[in-house]
Amino acid sequence: MSFYFQDGYLYCEQLKVKDIQAQIPESPFYLYSKQQITKNYSAYSEAIEDINAIIGYAIKANNNLAILKHLQELGSSAVLVSGNELRIALKANFNPERTILNGNGKTIDELMYAIQNQVLINIDSKFDLQHIQRAANEVGKRANVLIRINPDIDPQVHPYVSTGIKNSKFGIQNKELDWFLDFIKSSSLLNLVGVHCHLGSTIEQTQVFYDATVLMSEFVKIIRSQGFELQYLNIGGGLGIDYHKQGEILPTPLDLINSIREVLDNQHISLIIEPGRSIVGNTSILVNRVIGVKTNGNKSFVVVDGSMSELIRPSLYNAYHHIDLIEPCEGELKKFDVVGPVCESADFLAKDCYLTSPSEEMGLAVWDAGAYCHVMSSNYNLRMRPPEYWVDENQLIQIRKKECIEDYLNLFNI
C-alpha cells in the first residue's frame, strides 16, 4: 500500500505526512499517491489483457485534471455523466469515440455536444431516445447508442448507491425493448452498438457481476436476432473497496473479470467496464488538524478543521471512513466522534471511533478519500473547497489550488 505507518507516523509513499502537513499552508487538504492510481489502473488493465475490453474510468468519482491526464496516459477511457465531464475529458485528451455518456436526464445541448464528438451514448428512456434522435438531427451526424437495460438485480448495497433494481430511476423498462428496437430501426440517425447496465456501487460479491453478465448476454442474443450488429456489452462499474480495514478480502478486478470470462467466450463482443471508486478510492486521504477536544454529556468529540463540506459521505450515507492520527500520541484509547466546525449536527467524519486523545494541532487523516469526496465537496458555511496534492516519485506537487473567497465573491454582479 502507498499509505502506511512506520514508528507511529503515517507515510504517503516515502514521505511522512506530518512533514507534508508542516509544508502546506492550507488545512484541510487532500493528499494522493500517484503510484497507487497507477497500481489500481494496472490491476484492471492486466485483468483484461487477453480479452477485448474498454476500461472506462467513471470521471464522476474524481475529476481532478491531473488525475484524468494520468489515467488517459495509462490507456484508460472515460465514462461521463454531463456535458462538462465531456469538456474536461477532451481537455485530458481522452478519445471521445471510446467514451460513454450516461444519464437519465441528458439535455439536448449535452446530447448535441456528445454526438458532435461521436461519444457512445446510453439510452435511458423513451424520451431520452427521442432527444438523442432530435440532437443527431440538429448536428447532422449519426449517434452511436447503447440501450441501458434495467437488470433488476439487487447489488445489496446502500439504497442511495443501488441503481439496477426494478424501481430505480435509471434504464428502460425491459418489457418495452421492442419499442426501442423498432424506433432505432426506423431511424437513419441512430446506430445501435451495444447494451449497458449498472447495478450500483460498493459491490462486494463477484456473483452480482456474473448474474448481470449472464442476463445481459441474453439481451445481446435477442437484439442480434433482430439483425443488429452489437459491438459492446457494458456491465457498468461498482466494485467495492476496503473502507473498514478489518482484514476482509474483497474481490479484485481480476476476480471480477475471471468471474465473467466464461460468459463472454464466443460472443464476439467487446466488454466495457466503468470503474470509478476502485481506481481512485484508496489513493487519497483528507488531512485535517485538530482544533480541540471536548466532552458533552456522555459523548467526547475531537473537533477538526475538516467537515461535511469537504467530505460528505459519512453525513450523507452514514458511510464509514477509517480515521487515524498521523503521528504518535500517548495515552489510552477512548471513544470519540470526529466532527467539523460546520454549524449542523449532521457534520461528522466518524462516529464512535477509538483514538488516543489528541493534542491541538495534531494531524488526523480520513482514509480512502479519493472517490466521491472532493467531487462532492461544497461551499456550505462558506467554506472554500480544499486544495489537492499528490506525491509523484516522492515529490510533493499541488494538483489543485484551494478555492478562495475572491473567486466566490466574483460570482455576484454587485
Should residue 58 be labelled a site residue for ligand LLP when binding is judged by CB under 6 A? yes
- The amino acid at residue 319 is A
> What number of other Cβ atoms are within 10 A of residue 125's Cβ?
18
- CA distances to 205, 333, 400 from 299, rounded to whole Å, are 36, 14, 36
All three cell numbers of 217: 448476454
Q: Does 362 bind ligand LLP (CB under 6 A)?
A: no
Residue span 374-403 as binding mask against ligand LLP, x where in contact by CB under 6 A, dash where not: ------------------------------
Strand, helix or coil at 217?
Answer: helix
Return the residue of 194, 275, 306, 358 that touches ligand LLP, per CB under 6 A: 275
- Nearest-CA neighbor of 150 among 166, 161, 162? 166
Q: Which is nearer to ligand LLP, 48 or 189 (CB)?
A: 48
Query: Does 366 engage in binding with ligand LLP (CB under 6 A)?
Result: no
Among 155, 276, 306, 314, binds ligand LLP (CB under 6 A): 276
Question: Which residue has its beta carbon closest to ligand LLP?
Answer: 276
Q: Among residues 34, 277, 321, 400, which is the contact residue for ligand LLP, using CB under 6 A?
A: 277
Residues near 188 by Cβ (< 8 Å), separated by ≥ 6? 142
Cβ proximity of 140 and 116 under 8 Å: no
Q: Is 350 in the site for ligand LLP (CB under 6 A)?
A: no
* Residue 102 binds ligand LLP, judged by CB under 6 A: yes
Q: Indicate the residue among 21 and 259 with the shorter CB distance to ligand LLP.
A: 259
**Residue 198 in contact with ligand LLP, rule: CB under 6 A:** yes
Backbone dihedral region for residue 283 (phi beyond 0: left; psi -120 to 50: alpha; all else: beta): alpha
Amino acid at 396: L
Q: Is 313 in the site for ligand LLP (CB under 6 A)?
A: yes
Residues identified as active-site: 343
- Binding test (CB under 6 A) with ligand LLP, winner from 129, 161, 290, 355: 161
Count of residues engaged in binding ligand LLP, rule: CB under 6 A: 20
**Shortest distance in whole angstroms from residue 62 CB to ligand LLP:** 9
Amino acid in position 78 = A
Q: Cell for 198?
A: 449498472
CB-CB contact of 303 with 294 (8 Å): yes
Please report whether residue 282 would count as binding ligand LLP according to CB under 6 A: no
- CB burial of residue 127 (10 Å; 0-12, 13-18, 19+): exposed
Phi first, then psi, for residue 272 (nearest 5°) are -120, 135
Cα–Cα nearest to 244, from 202, 187, 280, 210: 202
274: contact with ligand LLP by CB under 6 A: yes
E-assigned strand segments in 77-182: 77-80, 100-101, 120-123, 143-148
**DSSP conformation class of 189:** T
CB of residue 80 to ligand LLP, shortest distance in Å: 10
The count of other CB atoms within 10 Å of the CB of residue 246 is 7
CB of 195 to ligand LLP, least distance (A): 13
Distance from C-alpha of 31 to C-alpha of 369, rounded to nearest angstrom: 9
40 contacts ligand LLP (rule: CB under 6 A): no
Binding to ligand LLP by residue 315, rule CB under 6 A? no
With respect to ligand LLP, which residue has the nearer C-beta, 353 or 371? 371
The least distance separating ligand LLP from the CB of residue 323, rounded to whole angstroms, comes to: 17
State yes or no: residue 372 binds ligand LLP (CB under 6 A).
Answer: yes
Binding-site member from 163, 283, 315, 377 for ligand LLP (CB under 6 A): 163
Please tell me whether residue 61 binds ligand LLP under the rule CB under 6 A.
Answer: yes
CB of 162 to ligand LLP, least distance (A): 10
Report the distance separating Cα 95 and Cα 55, nearest Å: 12
Check: CB of residue 276 under 8 Å from CB of residue 61. Answer: yes
Contact call for residue 201 and ligand LLP (CB under 6 A): yes
Q: Which three cell numbers stand for residue 34?
A: 500517484
Query: Which DSSP category does 20 fall into?
Result: H
Cβ closer to ligand LLP: 327 or 368? Answer: 368
Nearer to ligand LLP, 158 or 224 (CB): 158
Which residue, 70 or 277, has its beta carbon nearer to ligand LLP? Answer: 277
Q: Which of residues 219-248 bind ligand LLP (CB under 6 A)?
A: 236-239
81 or 323: CB nearest ligand LLP: 81
Query: Which residues are at the interface with ligand LLP (CB under 6 A)?
Result: 58, 61, 79, 102, 161, 163, 198, 201, 236-239, 274-278, 313, 371-372
